[in-house]
Chains A and B, each alone.
Chain A
Amino acid sequence: MMRLALPLLLAELAVITTGRLAAVELSMPDSKLPAIDVHGFLSQGLLDSSDYNYLGDSSHGSYKFTEAGLNASFNPFPRTRIAAQEFTYDVGPAGNYDVVLDYALVEYTFNDHLGIRAGRIRRPEGLYNDIQDVDLARTWVLLPQGMYNARWRDFYVSEDGAEIFGTFSLNQAGSLSYELYDGLQHPKLDGGLALQKANLPPFSKLTWINSPNLGGGQLWWNTPLEGLKAGLALNYDEGLTFINAAGRQSKGSPITQHYSLEYLRDSWTFQAEYLRFKINYLNTGGGLPASTKLIEPDTWYVSAAYRFNRWFEAGGYYTTYCADVNNRHGKGLQFPSDANQADTALSLRFDVTPWWIFKVEGHYIKGTAQLLDNAANPVRGNNGWSMLAVKTTLSF
């Protein structure tokens, strides 16, 4: 891991100290071949918490908080676009700098009302799912983690399949944009989802995960009120299956509902989202009787951010996550604090240059529902704790 982390950090320092980044357009002189746009980003962060290890070994200050991406796109034919991105990340025990093909797609746009993308696509859900690793695209260092879990990227962001998309005018009522998709996910055994499952009783270390089919859609209503849009996302994950080291199989088909609101007014950005996830596992094998386990988390947040000028933005959010709406108070849990986690965040974003941003963010957290690493947090309670998050990103 350090083999890659060190060059990434050095590259970032070199660019900061020696020069600037510029967008890259590859083209052959006097050629009729289309130009290729190349863009990339590199982020490095620090997480330092007063209690517990959250998203890594944060109680000792964790630099295992890195993201990098490099993409290229071009239009080979009219109405046709080809795009691909390589991506790597490391967030505590997840990611491990594995370089993955993040998206690789062919897109054909018939008109404003209908287009199609196929290949490995980024899955739209809510305001941030398809861009949750793009630090440039938000005020915050950490998105509300109950909704956009930084450790779930292997599972939740991309899938192999296709989507159709488009926009329809609703005349005086604004417009409606849609994306409808279907494809196969590829969760990894060392990914965030596997880590989460291994952390939960009655699961243990996983030895196998399937590639389930996930279908769904995202609708956005761009309302007649300038700057206000409302979104609804629904998806159905068919036959998500795990097998643990004891041979116990758990199979379920989660359904997700995700509601979003965003309002831009002058230099303000207001956002609010609610997500509810439901899965009923059927557990079989492993020498134990068959059983079922219903898990139904929900999470929401409200946020506000203000852009003072081109180089400074500040904002904050409040978010809560409940591990199971059927047991909001953690009845019967070894540590009742594992039932919920609330997080109040205050963020400062500095756009030092158009290609270099720096963020610093404070969190006050109550609850331990999202630590996801019980071995590193053997005793947990409902005391409040704090975390400092710092991050810098280069892009071109």
Chain B
Amino acid sequence: MIGLACAGLLAGTLRAALPDGAIVIANGSVPIASISAGALKDIYTGKTTYWQDGQSVVIAVSADTTDSSLKRVSGMDTSYFRTFWQRMVFSGRGHLPKKTDDAASLVDLVASTTGAIALVPASASLKGVKVLEVR
């Protein structure tokens, strides 16, 4: 049942928001099942730093995160995105996104990190995370 629900969300996400094949996943503690493109951008640009229940938003990225999906979500390419968050950290305004080497470890990180959110390829094997529908 849960798998079917996830599959449905996954399919909807693919069609609706990230046509380059990326989907949005989150830790099970994240108190939402869907997110607007605007709210997603606010997260990736540091304007939203907490979920509605007060827990920190933890952005996770991997080397597999494509420029096009990150660009679509944040308006920044990979290099500028990294620079943007370094500016946030070293001016005392935020936490650096957590980084992994590949999509599989990214899924593991999101599954084990409270408040985590990430973009992963639709082909990634998902376990222990939920897929957020992008409205």
Contact = CB atoms under 8 A, between A and B. Distances in A.
A167 B47 contact: yes
Interface in A230-265: 264
Interface of A: 23, 37, 39, 41, 69, 71, 73, 75, 78-79, 81, 83-85, 103, 105, 109, 112, 117, 121-122, 124, 130-131, 133-134, 136-138, 167, 169, 175, 177, 226-227, 264, 266-267, 269, 307, 310, 313, 351, 354, 395
Contacts of A133: 90
B128 interface: no
Nearest to A227: B75
Given A23-B96, A78-B54, A307-B80, A41 B90 contact: yes
Contacts of B108: none
Interface string B69-83: 000000111111011
Contacts of B91: 103, 122, 124, 130-131, 134
Contacts of A354: 82
B34 interface: no
Contact of B80 (A37, A122, A269): A269
A138 B90 CA distance: 13
Contacts of A78: 50, 53-55
Interface string B89-123: 11111011011000000000000000000000000
B42 interface: yes
Interface in B20-56: 38, 42, 47-50, 53-56
A112 B83 contact: no
B73 to A, nearest CB: 12
Contacts of A138: 83
Given A78-B54, A79-B54, A85-B92, A137 B77 contact: no
Contacts of A167: 42, 47
Given A137-B83, A137-B87, A313-B79, A103 B47 contact: no
Interface of B: 38, 42, 47-50, 53-56, 75-80, 82-83, 86-87, 89-93, 95-96, 98-99
12 contacts: A37-B89, A73-B92, A81-B56, A105-B92, A109-B50, A112-B42, A122-B91, A131-B87, A134-B91, A177-B47, A264-B80, A307-B77
B2 to A, nearest CB: 28
Contact of B90 (A81, A112, A131, A169): A131
Contacts of A351: 79
A289 B24 CA distance: 71
A85 B94 CA distance: 13
A137 B82 CA distance: 9
Nearest to B56: A75
Contacts of B96: 23, 37, 39
Contacts of A136: 83, 86, 90
Nearest to B49: A109
